[in-house]
Amino acid sequence: MVKTRPALEDSLIEALQMIAPGTLLRQAIDNIVRARTGALIVFADERQIAPMISGGIDIDVGLKPMILYELAKMDGAILLDRGGSHIIHANVQLMPDASIDSQETGTRHRTAERVAKQLGVLAISISAARDVVTIYVGGVRYIMDPIRVILSKADQALLTLERFKNRLNQVASTLSRLEFQDVVALSDVTSVLQRVEMVLALSHLIERYIIELGTEGRLVQLQLEELLMNVWEERDAVLADYLFDPTPARLERARAALVALPSEELISMASIGAILGFPADAAALDGHVSPRGYRLLRKIPRLGPEAIGALVDKFGSLQAIVEAPVGELASIGEVGLSRAREIKYGLIRLRELDVVERSG
């Protein structure tokens, strides 16, 4: 199972991981913020940045939070290697290309932005007056929020995600009922996929918060994992049931197409239907479609993918599997008599459970 996320600057993610709570760099940054000394920290190879360095002190020492904090008391920039594990220079004056566009007004921030753009490296500017930490990576500018703010945002996002997941469970339960009755319309299928992608899109935002929280984000991570349980599997099973010719390559392309849908097209059921291989119009959404059976069969305990694949290959549809006698199910080599009974009774239990849930 491949978990994908919207395109986000990988370099920014790496930067956030480098300075997340629990790291040595974050200890130093927090000390600098509390002391209100300000700092300009650049992460680059020495040969790469050497042409723009003027003056300063050669350090060449492993990173230690208190050393970095003490060096920040001087006015100049501090240079670390790209990985942030070694302090190379301190109190240097950096002279990037002045023609590089910058919207910053402060000298420290403007220098950080230009260095990051010119060399494509990470630069961090810490404001002495406003306790603001700004990250520059190449052409990306990102202002860090305090931990309490990120935690609050993460909590709100988790509450919203829980509502999204509850709605997904509702439409998935409706789809199960319709599949047993063999009265599924394409719109019922696209509704489930739409809700899945809404859940996953919000989860990507929470993952960003978790990266920023570092060791402070463990509880958020646990809550996210619980809410995302079976979501990717649900999406893959729906695609396997309703995608035209669900070869591994086509399934992968369909997953990628769903992830790439802009928010305005995700609202459109017709766009999702087109990814499944149906005409992108309202009439197609009302058309009848039949599941192959992957989605409901995977809900039966101890029934592996090989047996599920053999059942679908043999019978072709969920309805045919439901109606098949135990002996016919048992004739499949990957199934056998004992498992055939489990499949038969498992499908009956799933149907009865759906009736109980709807009546209760």
Name the β-bridge partners of 40. 125
- Find the CATH number of the domain harbouring 296: 1.10.150.20
2 inside domain: no
Report the pLDDT value the prediction gives residue 66, as an integer from 0 to 100. 95
- Give the pLDDT of residue 17: 92
One domain, residues 73 and 184? no
The predicted pLDDT at position 5 comes to 42
Give tens-digit pLDDT for 47-66.
Answer: 999 999 999 999 889 999 99
Give the span between the Cα atoms of 183 and 341, in whole angstroms.
Answer: 26
- Identify the pLDDT of residue 3: 43
pLDDT of residue 355: 57
In a shared domain, residues 181 and 285: yes
User: What's the pLDDT band for 357 if we cut at 50, 70, 90?
Assistant: low
Q: Is 11's pLDDT higher than 80?
A: yes
pLDDT of res. 1:
36
Average pLDDT on 281-309 reads 91
In a domain, 18, yes or no: yes
Per-residue confidence (pLDDT) for residue 333, from 0 to 100 = 83
Please state the domain count of the chain: 3
Domain match, 264 and 359 both? no
Bridge partner residues of 136 (DSSP): 123, 141
Mean residue pLDDT across the chain? 90
Report yes or no on 4 lying in a domain.
Answer: no
Residue 76 lies in a domain: yes
CATH number at residue 205: 1.20.1260.110
One domain for residues 85 and 68: yes
Give the integer Cα–Cα distance in Å for 52 and 115: 9
pLDDT digits (tens, 9 = 90+) for 108-143: 999 999 999 999 999 999 998 888 899 999 889 999
**CATH code for position 115:** 3.40.1700.10
Out of 240, 266, 290, pick the residue that ends a domain.
290
5, part of any domain: no
pTM of the model: 0.82
pLDDT of residue 2: 37
Helix/strand/coil for 125: strand
Domain identity same for 138 and 150: no
Which of 144, 168, 187 is at the close of a domain?
A: 144
Q: Do 136 and 76 share a structural domain?
A: yes
DSSP sequence for 21-74: TTSHHHHHHHHHHHHT--EEEEE--HHHHGGGEES-EEEEEE--HHHHHHHTTS
- Based on the fold, state whether residues 255 and 159 are members of the same structural domain: yes
- 64 with 24: CB under 8 angstroms? yes
Closest alpha carbon to 88 in 76, 100, 96: 76
* Range 210-214 average pLDDT: 93
pLDDT higher than threshold 90 for residue 351: no
30 and 137 in one domain?
yes
Residue 358's domain comprises 292-360
Whether residues 263 and 299 fall in one domain: no
Query: What whole-number distance in Å separates Cα of residue 119 and Cα of residue 136?
Result: 11
Q: Residues 6 or more apart from 90 whose CB is under 8 A from it?
A: 56, 57, 59, 71, 74, 76, 78, 79
Average pLDDT of the segment spanning 93-114: 92
* Last-in-domain residue among 122, 144, 166: 144
Specify if 3 maps to a domain. no
Q: What is the DSSP string of 157-170?
A: HHHHHHHHHHHHHH
Asked if the model's pLDDT at residue 7 lies above 60, the reply is no
Write the DSSP symbol of residue 277.
T
Q: How confident is the model at residue 165 (pLDDT cuts 50, 70, 90)?
A: very high
DSSP SS3 for 123: strand
Nearest to 68 by CA among 31, 18, 94, 36: 31
The reported pLDDT for the residue numbered 292 is 95
Q: Say how far apart CA 110 and CA 113 lie, in whole Å.
A: 5
Q: Give strand ranges (E) for 272-342.
A: none
Is residue 1, in this structure, part of any structural domain at all? no
Residue 338's pLDDT is: 87
Same domain, 122 and 156: no
Residues of the chain with pLDDT > 90: what percent?
73
Instruction: Please compute the mean of the pLDDT values over residues 218-233 and round it to a whole number.
Output: 95
Residues 152 and 223 in one domain: yes
Range 305-329 average pLDDT: 92
- The residue among 243 and 131 whose pLDDT is bigger is 243
Query: pLDDT band at 336, cuts 50/70/90?
Result: confident
Same domain? 183 vs 239? yes
Single-letter code of the amino acid located at 102:
S
Do strands 77-80 and 39-43 pair parallel, antiparallel, or not at all (unpaired)? parallel
Is 189 within the bounds of a domain? yes
Strand partners, 61: 87
pLDDT in the model for residue 280: 82
The string over 235-265, giving b where at least 16 C-beta atoms fall within 10 Å of a residue's C-beta and e elsewhere, is bbbbbbbbbeebeeeeeeebbeebbebeeee
